[in-house]
A and B are shown apart, each in its own frame.
Chain A
Amino acid sequence: MNATRTGRATVRTGRATVAVAAAVVLSFTSAGFANGATGAVPRDHGEDEITVGIKYDQPGIGLKTPDGTYTGFDVDVATYIAKELGHDPSDIVWKEAKSADRETLLQRGDVDFIAASYSINDERAKKVDFAGPYLLAHQDVLIRADDDSIKQPSDLNNKKLCSVTGSTSAQNVKDKIAPDAQLQEYGGYSECLTGLENGVIDALTTDDSILAGYAAQSQFKDKFKLAGFKMSNENYGIGVQKGSELKAKINTALEKMVADGSWDAAVKKNFGPANYQNEPAPEIGVVVK
């Protein structure tokens, strides 16, 4: 240790330095608290406000844009539903609903409903209720536009496959369709896209709606294409709290959205540029297995 034993003891310099250190530490913390910090502060549930859980990082589905607004199909659907429930778009409080957190957010009542590429399945249905479905998606792969070596799912053998951590889609391919595929997992899809663009990854797999959202971004125009394998059925539903009366109201709203053409418009707007062949609007309450 660097113990040098010289000099006399006085307290003044000590105090001054302590004060400096305290000021540094305080300025660190207070800077945060003063501004409402981490978003940890509970929202004031005003009369007209409604809190909706969406994805923040999926273009075409739910994306937080640089100016702080939100775009995507889920966002459009949620906005329509909110309007039908009597809330102006300006009264919607958006919250990020990461895949692993969705059930907890609903059970705790942190959000009123969730529209976040949320596939209906039995496991989840035990914990939350689903309105809808409002979109039928399929697991698919996104490949480079000039790659014609992947024509059918079994061509994925010996290919380099990318997906996100904790997603079942990649494991699904590896277990059932192409056992010899290599699998790389990242925290987000955009990480896979870099590798796909540069040829170190051959295919990115997840729901075709999500893939279409990425491929539709202007920067990726003509770089990627959907392979069109329908490897599973993903029925996107609106998650609500178990036993919530919202379920029926949301179903009514969804029916109206399809009937008045807003649904089609939203699909065109968000997935259109990617040449995504969407399924027709699903019938409410019918889950395609």
Chain B
Amino acid sequence: MFDFLQGYDLLGAFWVTVQLTVYSAIGSLVWGTLLAAMRVSPVPLMRGFGTVYVNIVRNIPLTVIIVFTSLGLFQTLGVSMGADRFTTINFRLAVLGLTAYTSAFVCEAVRSGINTVPLGQVEAARAIGLSFPQVLRIIVLPQAFRSVVGPLANVLIALTKNTTVAAAIGVAEAALLMREMIENEAQLILISVIFAAGFICLTLPTGLFLGWVAKKVAVKR
């Protein structure tokens, strides 16, 4: 019954999906937090930049961004991300695109977390003479992060599902393999069930686990 799986690297494809997710998650956590910091910073230009970035990126389809990294950044501007082989270049471009897109959502989640930190905390920090970067780094962000584990988990799961878009520029992840298998094998239902199950295995436990973590670390007020 599962003969048709011969010759296809199913685990390899899902491994690429996982790698895309992990690298993009790290990237967007960093860049998203920086963006959030910009959006609450005292420098009007940074605030403006953060706002414009988030509003533009959230309103563009991820597909457009991903396809653009390949056709615009790589093919036209020659940005090859320090790699020489197409497979590596495409993978890195996909991570770049996913990071650029996802960080807008991370930024908004972190910003909403910053809003949950009580006024007194910040006022106390300022009273003992901490500067804005110090207030943010030592007092606000640690508390903010604890309250946004839930929303960030949502972003992470959305990101896991969004990695399929990398198929549009030929990254050999799960969705691309699925399309190839559908074209070549007459086992549509079975193939679809396998890929659906694969994604459920990736997203459902993440959601449940991080939901549990969110309750654990939430600041009790």
In the complex the two chains form, what is the Cα distance from A187 to B59 in whole Å?
24
In the complex the two chains form, what is the Cα distance from A191 to B74 in whole Å?
11
B27 CB contacts on chain A under 8 angstroms: none
Q: Which residue of B lies closest to A192 (CB)?
A: B75
Is B207 on the interface with A (CB-CB < 8 A)? no
When each residue 77-106 of chain B gets 1 if its CB lies under 8 Å from chain A and 0 otherwise, what string results? 010100001100010000000000000000
- Minimum CB–CB distance for B1 against chain A, Å: 27
Taking a contact as CB atoms under 8 Å apart, the answer to whether A195 and B86 are in contact is no
Tell me which residues from 33 to 71 in chain B have a Cβ below 8 Å from any Cβ of chain A.
71
The verdict on A182 contacting B75 (CB below 8 Å), with A166-B183, A200-B80 known, is: no
Task: Identify which of B74, B85, B170, B183 contacts A195 (C-beta below 8 A).
Answer: B74
B86 CB contacts on chain A under 8 angstroms: 160, 182-184
Max count, chain A CB within 10 A of own CB: residue among B85, B86, B170, B183: B86
Is B76 on the interface with A (CB-CB < 8 A)? yes
The verdict on A184 contacting B71 (CB below 8 Å), with A160-B86, A200-B78 known, is: no
Taking a contact as CB atoms under 8 Å apart, the answer to whether B78 and A184 are in contact is no
B75 CB contacts on chain A under 8 angstroms: 191, 194-195, 198, 200-201
- Minimum CB–CB distance for B153 against chain A, Å: 16
In the complex the two chains form, what is the Cα distance from A183 to B90 in whole Å?
12
Q: Give the size of the chain A interface in residues (CB under 8 angstroms).
A: 15
B90 CB contacts on chain A under 8 angstroms: 184
Max count, chain B CB within 10 A of own CB: residue among A184, A191, A201: A184
Task: Identify which of B78, B85, B170 contacts A199 (C-beta below 8 A).
Answer: B78
A182 CB contacts on chain B under 8 angstroms: 85-86
Q: How big is chain B's contact interface, by range?
A: 10 to 19
Tell me which residues from 128 to 167 in chain A have a Cβ below 8 Å from any Cβ of chain B.
160, 165-166
Is A185 on the interface with B (CB-CB < 8 A)? yes
Taking a contact as CB atoms under 8 Å apart, the answer to whether A191 and B71 are in contact is yes
- Minimum CB–CB distance for A103 against chain B, Å: 14
In the complex the two chains form, what is the Cα distance from A200 to B93 in whole Å?
14
Taking a contact as CB atoms under 8 Å apart, the answer to whether A200 and B74 are in contact is yes
In the complex the two chains form, what is the Cα distance from A198 to B78 in whole Å?
7
Taking a contact as CB atoms under 8 Å apart, the answer to whether B183 and A194 are in contact is no
Taking a contact as CB atoms under 8 Å apart, the answer to whether A194 and B78 are in contact is no
- Minimum CB–CB distance for B169 against chain A, Å: 8
In the complex the two chains form, what is the Cα distance from A185 to B86 in whole Å?
10
- Minimum CB–CB distance for B54 against chain A, Å: 20
Taking a contact as CB atoms under 8 Å apart, the answer to whether A198 and B76 are in contact is yes
A183 CB contacts on chain B under 8 angstroms: 86
- Minimum CB–CB distance for B207 against chain A, Å: 17
A185 CB contacts on chain B under 8 angstroms: 170
The verdict on A194 contacting B76 (CB below 8 Å), with A160-B86, A182-B86, A183-B86 known, is: yes
The verdict on A194 contacting B71 (CB below 8 Å), with A166-B183, A182-B85, A200-B78 known, is: yes
- Minimum CB–CB distance for B83 against chain A, Å: 11
Q: Which residue of A lies closest to B168 (CB)?
A: A187
In the complex the two chains form, what is the Cα distance from A195 to B183 in whole Å?
27
B76 CB contacts on chain A under 8 angstroms: 194-195, 198
Q: Which residue of A lies closest to B74 (CB)?
A: A200
When each residue 178-198 of chain A gets 1 if its CB lies under 8 Å from chain B and 0 otherwise, what string results? 000011111000010011001
In the complex the two chains form, what is the Cα distance from A262 to B74 in whole Å?
43
A200 CB contacts on chain B under 8 angstroms: 74-75, 78, 80
- Minimum CB–CB distance for B66 against chain A, Å: 13
In the complex the two chains form, what is the Cα distance from A200 to B81 in whole Å?
12
A191 CB contacts on chain B under 8 angstroms: 71, 75
9 contacts across the A-B interface (CB closer than 8 A): A165-B170, A183-B86, A185-B170, A186-B71, A194-B71, A194-B76, A195-B75, A198-B75, A200-B78
Interface residue ranges, B against A (CB under 8 Å): 71, 74-76, 78, 80, 85-86, 90, 170, 183
